[in-house]
Amino acid sequence: MSYLVCDNCGSYYELQEGESPEDFDLACECGGKLKNKESVKLDYELDVDTKNKFRDLDKKSVIWITGLAGALILFLFMYFIINLPIIMAAVLSGLIVGLVMRICLKYFL
Ligand SMILES: [Zn+2]
């Protein structure tokens, strides 16, 4: 399988049997150049895949860090301000933050 892939916008055309890259003028609508590639997995798709993975990872780690910070603040608040026993404060803050984070992960990812 051979493709003509635009090096600018990433759009591509699959060459049919009997067609060769020389049959085309190798200029994309966007102004980029079309290049002949043999692989089915296109560089552009790989790029997008990787970027999406990183974006998800970013979001996930932001939620995790926020959740951990929130748990700590809740714990300190319950332990020092409300004067709950340390076990109660730990369990309660864990439960609340766990619930909130589950909702966040479900709706924001
Ligand atoms: Zn293009």
**Are residues 34 and 80 located together in one domain of the fold?**
no
**Are residues 31 and 69 located together in one domain of the fold?**
no
* Residue 101: domain span: 47-108
* Number of domains making up the chain: 2
**Are residues 74 and 100 located together in one domain of the fold?**
yes
Residue with more model confidence, 51 or 42? 51
Please give the pLDDT value at position 47.
67
**Are residues 33 and 55 located together in one domain of the fold?**
no
Q: What is the pTM of this model?
A: 0.47
With a CB cutoff of 8 Å and minimum separation 6, the contacts of 33 are: 6, 7, 8, 26, 27
Please give the pLDDT value at position 43.
58
**Are residues 63 and 92 located together in one domain of the fold?**
yes
Residue with more model confidence, 34 or 60? 34
With a CB cutoff of 8 Å and minimum separation 6, the contacts of 73 are: none
The Å distance, Cα 49 to ligand 1 centre, comes to 19
Q: Please report which confidence band the pLDDT of residue 93 belongs to, taking 50, 70 and 90 as the band edges.
A: very high
**Are residues 69 and 21 located together in one domain of the fold?**
no
pLDDT tens for each residue of 70-87: 999 999 999 999 998 999
**Are residues 58 and 31 located together in one domain of the fold?**
no
The Å distance, Cα 34 to ligand 1 centre, comes to 7
Q: Name the residues around ion ligand 1, CB cutoff 5 A.
A: 6, 8-9, 28, 30, 32
Please give the pLDDT value at position 71.
92
Cβ distance 33 to 6 under 8 Å?
A: yes
Please give the pLDDT value at position 95.
93
pLDDT tens for each residue of 6-37: 888 988 888 888 888 888 888 888 998 888 88
**Are residues 15 and 58 located together in one domain of the fold?**
no
